[in-house]
Amino acid sequence: MRIALPVHGITLTLNESGGKIVSDLQEECPYCGIVDCYYNCDASQAEYLTDSQKDQNHEEVQQRLKHNIAMDGIESLILALACSNPEIDWTKPSILEAIETAVDACSCR
């Protein structure tokens, strides 16, 4: 079963053994575009970056890491709810508002 939610590009794919969630909640490395890259890609390690830019990158990595951990938790909760009760009406405004509220609360920097 495939469920597309109208928020944050969330798509759930459920089957007998569990499920999978895809979304646009997590932030990508601005250099290579990979979510799991924390400035260890070749582009972010370029020699032309100044020490100040490297320090700023470190700060950004820490913020992005915290953000992505929180978003992973939200994704896990959504997937767990979907797997435990596939009959949930994901179009209900209260459910969509709950997702938005959780994302907003975790996105505050």
Residue ranges of domains in the chain = 26-107
Q: In what order do the strands lie in the sheet with 18-22?
A: 2-4, 11-15, 18-22
Residue range 59-89, pLDDT digits in tens: 888 888 899 999 999 999 999 999 999 899 9
With a cut of 60, say whether residue 109 has pLDDT above it. Answer: no
Spatial CA neighbour of 75 closest among 30, 2, 19, 15: 19
**Given this model, what pLDDT does residue 91 score?**
92
In this predicted structure, what is the pLDDT of residue 108? 66
Lowest-confidence pick of 22-26, 31-35, 53-57: 53-57
Provide the whole-model pTM: 0.84
User: DSSP letter at 102?
Assistant: H
Residue 9 Cα distances to 12, 44, 52, angstroms: 10, 27, 35
Which comes out higher in pLDDT, residue 93 or 36? 93
